[in-house]
Structure 1
Amino acid sequence: MTTPAWLEPLLNNTRVNDRAAFTGLETPQEGRPAGVLVLFGEDPKTGPDMLVLQRSATMRTHAGQVAFPGGAAEPDDADISATALREAQEEVGLDPQSVTVLASLPQLWIPVSDFLVTPVLAWWHSPHPVVATAPAEVAHVARLPIQDLADPDNRLRVRHPSGFTGPAFQVHGMLVWGFTAGVISALLELGGWAKPWDTSRVEMLPSSQFQTPSVG
């Protein structure tokens, strides 16, 4: 399946970039393997985009957080791409046949949960409606245009009470932060889509977000 030309710079750069493009943390040899699906699509009106979901506000952990579809690997998964696709099907009803897996990024460690997460890049060659198929876990599904994520007005940094400070996005009524925002920020740079933005804009993370960052 042919991928669009606008994805080529990203794919070329992810092939030559190592873990340092995404994190400064050393990745341990042991941890809980997980996969998330970084799904790129293209809307006729708003252009290239990424699929994300927002966790249900009633969850014990990750409540209200924006994430990529994904989760922990299971023994029956053929590989980490299969993990990411299975989770996306379970969470938002994504048809795996509508997706072309393009590449896997370096495995990234989330210390607070001890997940070893592999982001799986994919092209949505046959997009279709997706919804929260697991309402107890997922409240909302959205396609975030890359042009909106790259808009300097939508970018900021957030500070967690623990002292963690990292990139964030305020877009389409959602606050994207933590692991998900870090991956998106790196992909904007690698894809050549990033624009200069005010990194001195730092806000405290809302108390509703004070939970373990989601792997998705």
Structure 2
Amino acid sequence: MLFTEAEDPAVTFVTRAETLRRHAGQVALPGGAVDPTDGSAFATALREAKEEIGLEPSRVSLIGELPALWVPASRYDVTTVVATWPGDHELWAADPAETGAVHNFSVSDLASPSTRVTAQHPRGYRGPAFVLDDTFIWGLTAHLVDWVLDLAGWARPWDHGRVVDIPERFLRD
């Protein structure tokens, strides 16, 4: 999870390319699978950030790693690396085959009760979600953001009873 270095930091998200086999068009945090040569979760995060959003590794400062989470839907262990970068230039979809768009949303917007909802999946899943502009963040990404907002003391009370169906364009597996 990549934060800008600012009084009200922003978190960087990507919209996954429409051509991907899995989770096409969904909003995610930059990242991906470990390559054998990476050596660490931080090295993987740096490589993926360079590939997906054009961020130079030398611009990134490690804060730490969250404990690994097993994600049953994808059958992967996911380690979230938390880091900062100066936020002094635009990021872009460096590899259009992977990344459709790059978004930065401020922590204050992410924590705002007005952007928080409970996502409802047609197959029964319910979980935290964020609605920002025309972007719907749900699933693992929303759980991770929710977790970090809590850990950092940024979370604000919100209405968990405000349930929103996941928009069709964000549902693709």
2: distance between equivalents of 1:203 and 1:121? 28
Amino acid aligned to 2:127: G
Give the direction of change, closer, same or farther, for the CA distance of 1:194–1:201 in structure 2 (3 Å limit): same
Deviation at 1:43, TM superposition (A): 4.8
Aligned to 2:36: 75
Query: Is the counterpart of residue 41 in structure 1 residue 9 in structure 2?
Result: no
Distance 2:144 2:20 in 1: 23
Where do 1:87-126 residues align within 5 Å? 87-125=48-86
Structure-1 separation of matches of 2:20 and 2:119? 22
Matched residues in 2 for 1:172 and 1:43: separation?
A: 21
What's the secondary structure of 2:80's corresponding residue?
strand
Work out the CA distance in 1 between the residues paired with 2:72 and 2:114: 30
- SS of residue matched to 1:61: coil
Matches within 5 A, 1:1-216: 38-43=1-6, 47-125=8-86, 127-212=88-173
Unaligned runs of 5+ in 2: none
**Counterparts of 2:98 and 2:104, CA distance in 1:** 18
Residue-by-residue CA offset, 1:139-174 (whole Å, 9 max, x unaligned): 111111001001111110111122110000001321
SS of structure 2 residue aligned to 1:142: strand
Bigger radius of gyration, 1 or 2? 1
Query: Letter of the aligned partner of 1:40 in structure 2?
Result: F
Q: CA deviation at 1:193?
A: 1.2
After TM superposition, give the deviation of residue 125 of structure 1 in Å: 3.7
Q: Distance in 2 between matches of 1:56 and 1:76?
A: 25
Distance in 1, matches of 2:91 and 2:169, equals 26
Q: Is the 8 A contact 1:99 1:123 kept in 2?
A: yes
Distance 1:163 1:97 in 2: 43
Q: How far does residue 39 in structure 1 lie from its aligned partner after superposition?
A: 0.9
Distance in 1, Cα, partners of 2:37 & 2:142: 29
Which has the higher mean CA deviation after the structures are superposed, 76-85 or 50-59? 50-59
**Corresponding residue SS for 1:188:** helix
Q: Give the TM-score normalised by structure 1.
A: 0.76
